[in-house]
Amino acid sequence: MAARPGYGRSQGAAGSGRPRDRIMSDNIVDTFFARQQGHGAKPAIVWNGETVCTFAELPAHVGRYRAALAQLGVTRGERVMVKTENSPAFVFTYLAVLASGAIFVPMNAAYTAAEVELLVEDADPVLLIHADKTAVPPAGSDRTTRATLNGDGSGSLTDLAATLAPDLAVEPMAVTDLAAILFTSGTTGRPKGAMLTHGNLGSNVAALYETWQFSSEDVILHCLPLFHAHGLFVALHLGLYSGATLRMLPKFDAAKVVAQLGQASVFMGVPTFYTRLLESADFTRNATAGIRLFISGSAPLLPSVFAAFEARTGHRILERYGMTETVMITSNPYDQAGRIPGSVGYPLPGVSVRIVDENRAELPAGEVGEIEMQGPNLCAGYWRRAEATAESFYPDGFFRTGDTGFKDETGRVTIAGRSKDLIISGGYNVYPAEIEMLLAEVPGVQDVAVFGVPHPDFGEAVMAAITTEGDAFDMAAMNALIAGKLARFKQPKAVHVLDEFPRNAMGKILKNVLRDTYKGSFAK
Ligand code: MCA
Ligand code: AMP
């Protein structure tokens, strides 16, 4: 194979024929724009099959949104929260926030007003950008200005941007400066904001570019939500960093994906995407012939899905492992034969992974323990949460992932389970503690447990069990509370009313027994 272009700031221009001094600072937007030089005529973003802009046109689009943000009071270090669906304008806004030196704080577009309120309180943003018809807390006396941006790109932000001359300046940032805060819940149920720096994001996309052999020849079929790390920092960043065209869809739709695969070279998604593609009769070996790489992550890919996919298409899906706090940690090798089902591969360049026992002593190959990691991709901690930061970020630089697993003699990592109480449904994380706290508020509810059970489409489904006391309990009132407070994907797919909970000698509810009792609920 020919030598691949180098990556990272110091080598970025080496193989690309671009002058090194194009990179003005460690602002990742500077890195993207510098690396796109020489690809100006190529489509940067294709939306629903239509070209939106070329790489030469991208900076002006971003610059108009940057000018609009400045008018709305956005300055360096301020937080800008975004609650909207995917669109090209979402991408422009994201890059404009970073170009302003401000901090991008996305959230799931499906959140209820109650969920948003908690995050706004915590992030204390100068600006909240949201879709017109979406749940947000009423604009109050807080300092947060509001602007609208809809999934079709319309809204007050776009209207304002259209009237302004592009501001092409990119605020100089250091690798340690914050670029984004992504909220991820915790064992307490209260979301924590992972503080990602320009250096975290830059180092990770560089490592992925190298590991997955990206080039400007690639075309990425992108249909992941842009409000999570997978869609934003992996799929989007790889396109912007490689000078590869991003063919974007508003969301995953199996029929639309099958129709567009012929125009793409890379596809990535959560396991549910692959399960759904396999359900389509049009998803054939022929339909996938032009794809060089299928990537899966965010949740475990079942070996049965890996095998069915290989049998149908001849492709072995490349599985990788990551977290919001760390972006990507490990990946299976690029070499097809090295992609092993059930394993998440090797640490990315520059990343270390340790498997430790309860005293944090490193375990030998083959033994299951807690997975810890360290590397330039590890975020700077949790926003304004010193205690939560101290619990997971050790003074020696390692981070406690809350996942368990083992390494083989070659250092290959396999995830065995989770030491954190977490359900991953269709790639979205659901923290039982958050739902348990809510259900415990319902009059007449005595005790509650929320747990995950296998689901053929979402991987895991959220399930709840309760016990009641007295006559106050009313199922309809509970359902109304759930519907009002929790985003749809977090809502239990069933609530079982039990006479009593299975408990251990200490009185603790045995969730594993509940999981076992209800494991067949969604069997096909
Ligand atoms: C939608 N529903 C869900 C989910 N999504 N329920 C449980 N889990 C879900 N993930 C609800 C809908 O509200 C609807 O409810 C019903 O399920 C069926 O909706 P459907 O139309 O089938 O869903 P969809 O709109 O097609 O969405 C499914 C999806 C989507 C395409 C799989 O959930 C998705 O895009 N997931 C990707 C998540 C992701 O990007 N995760 C990365 C996190 P009803 O019918 O009752 O109204 S980043 C991360 O984890 C780290 C960094 C990493 O390693 O990547
Ligand atoms: P998040 O908080 O959304 O960033 O989710 C991160 C969690 O997703 C990790 O801690 C893992 O539990 C899980 N995860 C991500 N990728 C994989 C994978 N390939 N296999 C199993 N679990 C994964």
* Encoded tokens for 16: 């690309």
Closest CA to 376 of 356, 354, 347: 347
Helix (H) or strand (E) holding 313: helix 303-313
For ligand 1, whether the C-beta of 426 sits within 6 Å is yes
Q: Tell me how far the alpha carbon of residue 30 lies from the centroid of ligand 1, in angstroms.
A: 33
Residue 75: count of CB within 10 angstroms of its CB: 12
Q: State which of 404, 413, 415 you would mutate to test the pocket of ligand 2, scoring each by most atoms of that ligand within 8 A of its C-beta.
A: 415
Measured from the alpha carbon of residue 327, the closest ligand is: 1
**220 and 60 Cβ atoms separated by less than 8 Å:** no
Give the Å distance between the CA of 426 and the centre of ligand 1. 5
Q: Which ligand is nearest to the CA of 403?
A: 2
Q: How distant, in Å, are the alpha carbons of 97, 121, 271 from that of 276?
A: 34, 37, 9
Cα separation, 288 vs 258, whole angstroms: 8
d(CA 120, CA 141): 13
For the CA of 228, the closest atom of ligand 2 is 3
Q: Which residues of 206-217 are buried (b: 16+ CB within 10 A; e: fewer)?
A: bbbbbbbebebe
pLDDT the model gives residue 23: 53
Tokens of residue 425, six digits: 């449904």
pLDDT in tens, 401-415: 999 999 999 999 999
Residue with the two structure tokens 């990535």? 268
Atom 11 in ligand 1: which residue has the minimum CA distance?
Answer: 489
Is the CB of residue 184 below 6 angstroms from any atom belonging to ligand 2? yes
Q: Is the CB of 298 under 6 A from ligand 2?
A: yes
Give 183 Cα–ligand 1 centroid separation in angstroms: 17
What local confidence, expressed as pLDDT, does residue 158 receive? Answer: 98
Whose alpha carbon is nearest atom 8 of ligand 2?
A: 298
Residues 6 or more apart whose Cβ sits within 8 Å of residue 353: 329, 330, 347, 371, 372, 373, 407, 411, 413
Task: Count how many residues are written for the chain.
Answer: 524
488 close to ligand 1 (CB < 6 Angstrom)? yes
Bridge partners for 455 per DSSP = 459
Whether residue 151 has its Cβ less than 6 Å from ligand 1: no
pLDDT of residue 180: 98
CA of 321 to the centre of ligand 2 (A): 6
What is the structure's pLDDT at 138? 85
Condensed to tens digits (0 to 9), the pLDDT of residues 13-50 reads 333 334 444 457 999 999 999 999 999 999 999 999 99
- What is the rounded CA–CA span in Å between residue 338 and residue 333? 6
Best of 399, 424, 425, 428 to mutate for ligand 2, by most ligand atoms within 8 A of CB? 424
**Nearest-angstrom CA–CA distance, 226 and 79:** 17
Positions of the chain with pLDDT lower than 50, given as ranges: 1-22
Comparing CA positions, the residue from 229, 199, 233, 92 lying closest to residue 155 is 92
Any ligand 1 atom below 6 A from CB of 297:
yes
Q: Which atom of ligand 1 is nearest to the CA of 326?
A: 52
Cα(457)–Cα(434) distance, integer angstroms: 23
Using CB atoms within 10 A of its CB, is residue 258 exposed (0-12), middle (13-18) or buried (19+)? Answer: middle
CA dist 6 and 60 (Å) reads 27
Q: Which ligand is nearest to the CA of 328?
A: 1
Considering Cα of 135, then 459, then 222, then 252, what sign does the dihedral take?
Answer: negative
H-helix segments, 124-279: 156-162, 198-211, 229, 237-242, 254-260, 271-278
